């Protein structure tokens, strides 16, 4: 198994960050066929495969705000207001995704992107682990 990490700056705001290019670049350099496992080792972030650039990323953040309001209802109450909701996020947007790699290329659909989803405004940087399990 080949593995590496990618640092992603979130800027301390709710965000959906497209990391497809970094994943594709690393998969290309690793070469061959296999499964790319993308994992964020944080308790308050997730990985989603969605369309970006057409408003879907903003729609995802809006839906998460409705499902997980950024207020003081959360028992996990340290940090900024609504921080507890960030700890619930990985139950809805898991901290991982797996994508087939064929000849060093991600086998994503036309409109699919690999995205880091982060609601935690208290963290400004995230680490994403990429692992290629060769087939």
Q: Looking at residue 23, which CATH number applies to its domain?
A: 2.60.120.460
Could you read off the pLDDT of 78-127 as tens digits, one per residue? 777 778 999 999 999 999 999 999 999 999 999 999 999 999 988 899 99
pTM exceeds 0.85 for this model = yes
Q: What residue numbers bound the domain in which 122 lies?
A: 2-134
User: Exposure pattern of 37-54 as b/e (b: 16+ CB <10 Å)?
Assistant: bbbbebebbbbbebbbee
Contact present, 55 and 91 (Cβ < 8 Å): no
Give CA–CA dist 76/116, Å, rounded.
22
Instruction: Please state the length of the chain.
Output: 135
- Domains in the chain, number: 1
Sign of the alpha-carbon dihedral angle for 122, 128, 129, 135:
positive
Contact present, 90 and 45 (Cβ < 8 Å): yes
């Amino acid at each position: 198994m080949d593995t590496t990490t990618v640092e992603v700056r979130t800027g301390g705001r709710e965000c959906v960050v497209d990391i497809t290019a970094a994943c594709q670049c690393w998969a290309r350099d690793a070469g061959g066929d296999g499964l790319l496992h993308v994992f964020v080792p944080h308790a308050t972030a997730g990985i989603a495969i969605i369309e970006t650039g057409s408003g879907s990323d903003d729609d995802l953040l809006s839906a998460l705000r409705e499902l997980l309001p950024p207020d003081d209802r959360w028992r996990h109450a340290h940090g900024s207001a609504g921080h507890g909701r960030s700890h619930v996020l990985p139950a809805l947007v898991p901290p991982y995704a797996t994508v087939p790699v064929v000849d060093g290329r991600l086998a994503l659909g036309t409109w699919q992107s690999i995205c880091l989803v982060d609601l935690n405004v208290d963290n400004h940087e995230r680490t994403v682990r990429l692992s290629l399990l060769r087939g």
